Amino acid sequence: MRFSRVMTVVLLLLAGACTAAFAKDVFVATNGNDTTGDGTITKPYATLTKATSVAVAGDNINMRAGTYVQHRYWDSGGDGAAGQYITISAYDGDLSVVFQADNTGMDAICFHARHYIKLIGLEVKQGSNIVHADGGSQYIYIQRCYIHDASLEGDCIKVNQCDYVYVEDNEVAVPGNRSSGGYQECIDFLDTDFSAQRDNYVHDFKDMALYTKGGSENNVIERNVISNQTTTYGNPAVGFGQQTDSNLMDGATYQSYNCVYRNNIIRASAMGAIGTYDCYHGYFYNNTVYNCGNSTHGIVHQRPSTTKETPKTTGVYFFNNVFLDTAGDMWTVYENRSGTYEDWQTGNNNYYNNGSPIPSSGIVNPNTESGATFGNPTLSNPTGTATTWQGWVDCYRITSSSAALIDHGNTSAGNSPYPAVSADIEGVSRPQGSGYDIGAFEYGSGPVPPVANFTGNPTSGTAPLTVAFTDTSTGSPTSWSWTFGDGGTSTAQSPSHVYNTVNSYTVSLTATNAQGSDSETKSNYITVSVASTPTFVAAGSVASGTGTITPALPAGIASNDILLLFVETANQACSISNQNGGTWTAVTNSPQYTGTAGGTAATRLTVFWSRYNGTQGAPTVSDSGNHQIGRMVALRGATTSGNPWDVTAGGVEATADTSGAIPGATTTVDKCLVVAAIATALPDATGTANFSAWANANLTSVTERTDNTANAGNGGGLAIATGEKATAGVYGSTTVTCGSSTTKGMLSIAIKP
C-alpha cells in the first residue's frame, strides 16, 4: 500500500460528506443527445463520457438497453467517495446494454485514478483492454458483467497500480493475442493490493486465465470457475505471480505476496492448473482441479519470472485440494520447471488418476504426503458439460459417496496463519462434520435447500412500469415461483413484469430444489406512481406553398419528444418525401377530407408523427397539387415506446359554416393531452387570427397553439389546440369558431403519458 493511495482515500472520505445530498439518477440512451439532453429519463445523454463527466459521488448512471459503440477513458470529472459510489448499471436488466469499443486500440472502459466506482450488469467487448483500472484507482467494483473478446494486445480485465478492486460474479472470456507472439489474460492484476477476484466464470483462454503479479499484495481469488485453455502455449491456467517488466515492479522484490486461491474449480487446462512465479507466501486451499496438465507438463509449475531482481519462490502451501484426472495420464503433480524455491508444503490433498498410479516425481511425492487420500472423489458429474458457472458447479459437487474427501481436510485451514476457508464455493460453512472436506465443496448431508432472494430494477416509476427481476438465490434452486402483487405470476428464473396500475406492490419468490424450498417476500417493493400529463413544448414556423414544403422543427425539443406534423391540402394526398433522418408515420384516422380534389371548397387534414431521435432534421412534404399548408408541434412526457396516442377520432363537415366540432373519443388511461386540429378550405388569404372560441367541457386548460391561413393556390386554413384529460373517459367534441364559412376536416389525438 502506497502512502499516496492512503491519502487519496482520506480526502475522498471528506468529499463524500459534501456530495451525498446531491446524488441523482443520470440516464444514457442510444437515442440520447449530449448537447440537448439533461440526463433525465426523458432527455438522456448519448454517451457514457458525458454521463461520467457530470456525475458526482452517490449518482447512479442508468444505461438504457441497446448497443453503444464508443469508449470511455475516465480520468476527470466525477469521482465517488466513501459510502457514495458512482454506479454505472444496465437500467433495463443485466446484460441489456452492449458497450463495444469504437477503437480497438483503446480501452472500452478505463477507470484512471478513479475512486468508489461500480460497474454492474453490462456486456462489454473489444478494446486494447476491455475494462481497465489504473493510476491509483481504489474501491472499484466490476460486477455481473459479461466481458469478452478483447482486441489485439488486450486483456479482458486489466488492473494495475490499484488497491481494493473487486471483480465479482462476471463472465469473462477470450482475451486478445500479443503481436509479438503469445496471448493475453482474462483477468490481470499487476501491482494491485487488497483486492479480490471471486464468483467469476472465466473461460476460453489461450494461455493464462488470471493471476496477480508485479508485487501484488494480499489478494484473494475464490469461488471462480476457470475452464478451457484452448492452446498449449506454455503456462498453466492461473498463477502466483508471472513475468513483469522491472520498471513496473514499483520496488517490490517478489511477484506476489500473500495471495490466496480458495474454493475454485480449475478444469481442462492442458498446460497445468497453477504456477508459482517467484512469489512470497502463496496459499492454494480447497480447490477442485480437473484434467489439468498433460504428458509433458505437471499440474503445478514451479518456475521463475523473467524479472532478474526477483530471487525465488518462498513459502507455498497446497492443502485440501482435489487433483482429479479422469484420463489416467497424470504426469508430475508438482513440477519444478526451473528456478529456486524454499518452504514448499503440501498436505491433505486428494489425488486420483482414474485408477492408475500417482507419479512420485517432482518437488513433492504425493504418495508420501501427510493426510493425502487416493480414492475416487466421486463427484457429481465430472465428465459432464456446461456453459455457466452454476452448470460447472453442479458437475463438480461433492456427494454422499465422496468418502475420499469428506472430513479428510486439514483442520487448520481456517486458522491463522493459514487463509480462512470458512465456507465452500456455495457458501456452506466449514466444517460440517468432524473435519474439513477436501475440494471446493463441503458436504452437509447432501446439497442444501436454497435460500431465496432477488432484486428488481427499477423499483419505482410511472405506469406502465416494466421491472426486470433477477434471482439471486443461493443453494442452486431448480425451479422458481414468483408472485408480483397484482395477480401476476411467473415460473421463469429472472422474469420481467409490467405494472399497469398505480399502487405499491409486494413481491414474493419461492425457490426450490430437491432438498427443499425457501421464500423471500419484499413488502411494498415496487411503487408505481401516476404519470404526469404530457405537455406542449412549442410549434415550428408555418410553411405553405404550391410545391413541396419543409415545415420547421419546433425550438427546444429533446430526444423522445413527440412531433406531430399537420398538413392541409385541397383534398389532395400528400406524403413525406424526405424523412431527413427521422421516422414519420401517419396517425390513426388520418387523413380526414371533403370536397372535389383541387377545388375551392375542398380540404384535407393529414397528420404524421415522429419520436424525435435527437439528430433528425425537418422533413419535406411532397407536392400534393394545388397547395399545402404545414405546421409541426412538439409534445413532451408521452410514452417512450410504441404509438404515443391512446385514442384518436376524426370527422368532416361538408357543409360550409363558421362553427366546427372536432370529434372526441373515450380515453382508457388517465392524464392524456388531447390535441385537436382543424383544416379548412377557406379563407384564401394569409393570416394568423382566423380561429377562436375553442371549448371542450370535458377538458381543462384548452389552449390554441397555432392559427394559420394562406393564399397559396386556392388557399385554406389550419389550426391546433390542446387540452388536458385528467381521468380516463369520454372527452367529447372540441368546438371552434372559424373566421370564414367553410368546409372542414378535423382530427383529435389523445396523447398518453
Q: The C-alpha cell of 84 is what?
A: 457514495
Look-up: residue for cell 449530449?
Answer: 34
* 444 pLDDT more than 90: no
Identify the domain boundary among 113, 142, 175.
175
Q: What is the three-class DSSP state of 414?
A: coil
User: Does any domain span residue 228?
Assistant: no
Mean pLDDT rounded to a whole number for the chain: 92
- Residue 671 shares a structural domain with residue 598: yes
Whether 686 and 735 map to the same domain: the answer is yes
Number of domains present in the structure of the chain: 3
What sign for the dihedral angle of Cα 454, 513, 392, 212?
A: positive
Distance between the two ends of the chain, CA-based, in angstroms?
A: 53
Check: CB of residue 275 under 8 Å from CB of residue 301. yes
How far is CA 334 from its chain centroid? Answer: 42
Instruction: Please report how many Cα atoms fall inside a 13 Å half-sphere around the Cα of residue 473, on the Cβ side.
Output: 28
In this structure, the answer to whether residues 473 and 619 fall within a common structural domain is no
Question: Is the model's pLDDT at 592 over the cut of 60?
Answer: yes
Q: Which of 119, 150, 175 is the last residue of a domain?
A: 175
Q: For residue 146, which of 184, 201, 188 has the smallest C-alpha distance? A: 201
Taking the C-alpha atoms of residue 299 and residue 311, their distance in angstroms, rounded to an integer, is 23
- For 59-108, write each residue's pLDDT tens digit: 999 999 999 999 999 998 889 999 999 999 999 888 999 999 999 899 99
Is 613 in the same domain as 469? no
Report, as an integer, the average pLDDT of 462-474: 89
In 3D space, the residue among 602, 588, 687 whose CA is nearest the CA of residue 643 turns out to be 588
Quote the pLDDT of residue 354. Answer: 95
Cell of 578: 424526405
Pair 476, 560 in one domain: no
List of residues 6+ apart from 324 with CB closer than 8 A: 288, 289, 290, 291, 350, 352, 377, 379, 382
The answer to whether residues 462 and 579 belong to one domain is no
Nearest one of 509, 290, 254 to 383, comparing CA atoms: 290
CB contact at 8 A, 749 and 674 = yes
For the chain, the residue count is: 753
Asked if residue 281 belongs to a domain, the reply is no
297 lies in some domain: no
Rounded to whole angstroms, how far apart are CA atoms 487 and 713? Answer: 60
Q: Rounded to whole angstroms, how far apart are CA atoms 422 and 339?
A: 34
Per the CB < 8 A criterion, the answer to whether 329 and 393 are in contact is no
Bond from prior residue into 683 cis (ω within 30 degrees of 0): yes
> Do both 649 and 737 map to the same domain?
yes
Residue 298 phi, psi dihedral angles, 5° rounding = -75, 175
Q: What is the CATH number of the domain that holds 520?
A: 2.60.40.10
pTM over the 0.75 mark: no
Instruction: Say what the pLDDT of residue 306 is.
Output: 64
CB neighbour class for 470 (10 Å; exposed up to 12, middle 13-18, buried from 19)? middle
Domain boundary among 147, 175, 203: 175
Q: In the structure, what pLDDT confidence band is assigned to residue 6 with cuts at 50, 70 and 90?
A: very low
pLDDT at residue number 357: 96
Whether residue 515 is found in the same domain as residue 623: no
Which of these, 414, 453, 455, 416, lies nearest to 436 by C-alpha position? 414
Residue with cell 442510444: 30
Lowest mean pLDDT among 8-17, 112-121, 321-330: 8-17
Higher pLDDT residue, 124 or 181?
124
Band (374; pLDDT cuts 50, 70, 90):
very high
Q: What is the pLDDT of residues 201-253, one digit of tens each?
A: 999 999 999 999 999 999 999 999 999 999 988 899 999 988 887 777 777 88
Amino acid identity at 461? G
Is residue 404, in this structure, part of any structural domain at all?
no
Do 582 and 522 lie in a common domain? no
Instruction: Say yes or no: 638 and 739 in one domain.
Output: yes
Residues whose CB is less than 8 angstroms from the CB of residue 84 and which lie 6 or more positions away in sequence, other chains included: 16, 19, 20, 23, 57, 58, 116
Residue type, 494: S
- The reported pLDDT for the residue numbered 415 is 55
Question: What is the distance between the alpha carbons of residues 573 and 550, in angstroms, rounded to a whole number?
Answer: 16
Is the confidence at residue 9, as pLDDT, over 90?
A: no
Query: What mean pLDDT comes out for the span 184-205?
Result: 96
Q: How far apart are CA 535 and CA 44, in angstroms?
A: 18
Query: Is 288 within a domain?
Result: no
> Which range (250-254, 505-509, 519-523, 630-634) has the least confidence?
250-254
pLDDT digits (tens, 9 = 90+) for 718-729: 999 999 999 999
133 neighbors 111 (Cβ within 8 angstroms): yes
One domain for residues 6 and 145: yes
Domain range for 463: 454-529
> How far apart, in Å, are the Cα atoms of 611 and each of 67, 563, 582, 584, 641?
19, 6, 8, 8, 9
- Check residue 666 and give its pLDDT: 97
Please tell me the predicted confidence (pLDDT) of residue 718. Answer: 98
Q: Are 216 and 160 in contact (CB under 8 A)?
A: no
| Mean pLDDT score, 391-414 | 89
Q: 21 lies in a domain?
A: yes
Q: What are 617's three cell numbers? A: 432534421
User: From the CB of residue 639, how many other CB atoms can be counted at a distance below 10 Å?
Assistant: 20
Residues 554 and 606 in one domain: yes
The answer to whether residue 213 is domain-embedded is no
pLDDT for 450: 87
Whether residue 437 lies inside any domain: the answer is no
